[in-house]
């Protein structure tokens, strides 16, 4: 597998205590690559259609109408980030402190680690994937969302998936995996496997995968070694199914 982002690859491996050496870098080509990435980012910011804006407004309105105890103590409602018309959707657990402050998912230390991981295989939230959480407000102290909080938000998350219609869903962590797959199996057993998200009410059956939550990896860095295996499986699946990324 060809590594798509050398810097992210080195950073990710360095975090596991593995030293890598790059023999030669063509600075001229590196400069051209930077300019190309800047252009891609600018184009992606302007790519959302009027239809997508309307879809997001419907989702937003449904969230605001939820009767969730977290609404009164959170700073911001946190919905989404990334490319709305991409074919890959990541679903996490709930916002943390930094996400609550900025109103976007996965922007704290866990989000930065996730970006480095995904950049290694050519995935970038600005250009080719979309990300959200099951719960839209930060639980106090970053605790795990309660069953009631999850069940309150789950219908909107399912509607969100229905609107988005991804070709692949990647669940990040136990909460997202167990809640959306309706399983008691843990992430340690399901990670790296080919799974299926089924929503009979909305007549949906979408391929899925499960990854360790990046916050868990920060607390348990030894597990990062397993993530590279999962990233390779994800990359190979995207290529095999010709999913745009």
Tell me if 245 is assigned to some domain.
Answer: no
Tell me if 32 is assigned to some domain.
Answer: no
pLDDT digits (tens, 9 = 90+) for 71-127: 999 999 999 999 999 999 999 999 999 999 999 999 999 999 999 999 999 999 999
Given this model, what pLDDT does residue 33 score?
32
Q: Which range of residues forms the domain containing residue 114?
A: 6-20+51-240
- The larger pLDDT score, comparing residue 32 to residue 5, is at 5
pTM of the full predicted structure?
0.82
pLDDT digits (tens, 9 = 90+) for 168-216: 999 999 999 999 999 999 999 999 899 999 999 999 999 999 999 999 9
Domain count, the chain: 1
Starting at the edge strand found earlier in the chain, the sheet holding 130-133 runs: 80-82, 130-133, 88-92, 168-172, 204-211, 195-199
Q: Say if CB 193 and CB 229 are below 8 A apart.
A: no
Pairing assessment for the beta strands 168-172 and 130-133 based on DSSP bridges: unpaired
CATH code for the domain in which residue 229 is found: 3.40.470.10
Tell me if 116 is assigned to some domain.
Answer: yes
pLDDT digits (tens, 9 = 90+) for 43-72: 334 456 787 889 999 999 999 999 999 999
């Amino acid at each position: 597998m060809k590594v798509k982002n050398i810097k992210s690859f080195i950073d990710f491996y360095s975090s596991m205590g593995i030293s890598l050496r790059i023999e030669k870098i063509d600075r001229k080509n590196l400069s051209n690559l930077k300019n190309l990435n800047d252009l891609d980012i600018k184009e992606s910011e302007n790519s959302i259609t009027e239809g997508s804006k309307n879809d997001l407004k419907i989702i937003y309105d449904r969230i605001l109408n939820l009767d969730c105890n977290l609404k009164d103590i959170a700073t911001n409602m946190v919905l989404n980030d990334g490319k709305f018309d991409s074919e890959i959707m990541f679903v996490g657990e709930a916002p943390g402190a930094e996400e609550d402050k900025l109103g976007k998912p996965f922007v704290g230390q866990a989000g930065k680690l996730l970006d480095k991981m995904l950049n290694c295989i050519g995935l970038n939230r600005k250009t080719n994937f979309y990300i959200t959480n099951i719960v839209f407000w930060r639980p106090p102290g970053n605790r795990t969302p309660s069953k009631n909080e999850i069940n309150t938000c789950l219908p909107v998350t399912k509607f969100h998936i229905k609107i988005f219609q991804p070709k692949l869903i990647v669940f990040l962590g136990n909460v997202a995996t167990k809640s959306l797959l309706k399983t008691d199996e843990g992430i340690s057993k399901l990670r790296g496997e080919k799974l299926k998200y089924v929503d009979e009410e909305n007549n949906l059956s979408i391929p899925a995968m499960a990854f360790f939550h990046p916050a868990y990896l920060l607390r348990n860095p030894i597990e990062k070694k397993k993530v590279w295996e999962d990233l390779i499986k994800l990359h190979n699946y995207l290529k095999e199914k010709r999913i745009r990324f």
